[in-house]
Structure 1
């Protein structure tokens, strides 16, 4: 077999082998690397390079070496899931570098972090004053996790004692001009509903680059043609406005009539509409 063909076939085989091994190890290894994962990646890359380029190297011996360097991390990760001691040994522990608003200089030096490194990580989280930080730790992956002081934290609805309607994540129902049935089913919607909503906007599904629907049944659409604009969803604001108009009309009728029985009826129904508005207001705003 020609050397170039040998290298080509080895490369193709090893690409798929590395892909399978990486998928087998799990998504965690793709998002964050421990020291052991880092070394393992370098060694596997070196083994693959040698097997690929050295046509005199035994291909099957190289595969055995790859599997050894795969099985050992796989076994260690399994043990790490079962044992806190193994987990601390392999993955490392978090190190506190700011506590009670005070920088822990010794811990910074132990982790090889300079003051500039600390400030850079703080700026990456949009924190420009160390005095704003209550607590910070360096994670085993090298990332800095920060807890701001209470007065510097963003205000939440809970802080304001506001009651908010529950909301699920929006679903992408059209992508690249194709309808996606599973996301529609997740929202208890169907293709007929989607087609009706598109008709309201006077667009066809083939012209839609991306469309998303929320748990309230509101559809937002982005078209392939960037020069065309699509109106934002208005169902909820219109419904709330209609309810308020009904309430105002009933009050007007109550004031306009001289019939006492009709006045009481209008006022009674006006109160019922106001109660309905109070209930649905958080959902429609």
Structure 2
């Protein structure tokens, strides 16, 4: 049984369902043991099929994996939290999760699983003017239902994603079971030093999603080709000095500052490359130079994409 979250996990966001089973099996063969899933990714059934095959073929046992999933926005009401968790468990063909996270601090109106799954952001995509539909569900009620999942043994740990410092302070005032993990966007262009430090002070481990920055967002028109941290001189210089790729340097920077990471790729050679970051260390000067690239550049910002894609202005960061 894995007791602590692995430093390097495998992200399943934007992995197509038809390719997902192959990709997950390749990742397991490459050595990944943490898989970061979510209902909203729309591929948990394919991921579950890969897990089932891996178990049946003796590649790994369930206890060899750390499996994370996330509560989607439309299931925040207490009576829907267990429903959502059990749906993910069924799709992933698992009896329990290692970690279940609140995906966003955004409560949306419930959409029954039979109506549309995953529900995504729009309440009624067929409406004349489709929009998000907020729900009157405070986060403390959602968290209490997450704690119930722990009590029921459906997940070993619970946590949150995309919280800011204010929400984290608030959560720690009412939580009876403290969150164990905070998952946030973090990379050299968005170091989030204060939030990472605060999480550490509260005893939360931080997982960084999009650890390579813009790469996941160019195809979504949420970043430009010129936004890549991999071409920064301090990164390429460190790569040359250590005989590593720029991507390996950026991933090493992330784990060396104490966060775990969940890079995503569908290419086996990149899977192996992303794991091969334990045999070198960046100097204090290199770490500081890469951290100095911070520009508060957030690529995954609901305050931007919800208005552009879903006709609803819904910021969660100032």
Q: TM-score range by the shorter chain?
A: under 0.3
- Between Structure 1 and Structure 2, which shows a larger proportion of helix residues? 1
What's the TM-score, normalizing by structure 2? 0.22
Q: Relative contact order: is structure 1 or structure 2 higher (C-alpha 8 Å, sep ≥ 6)?
A: 2
User: Larger radius of gyration, structure 1 or 2?
Assistant: 1
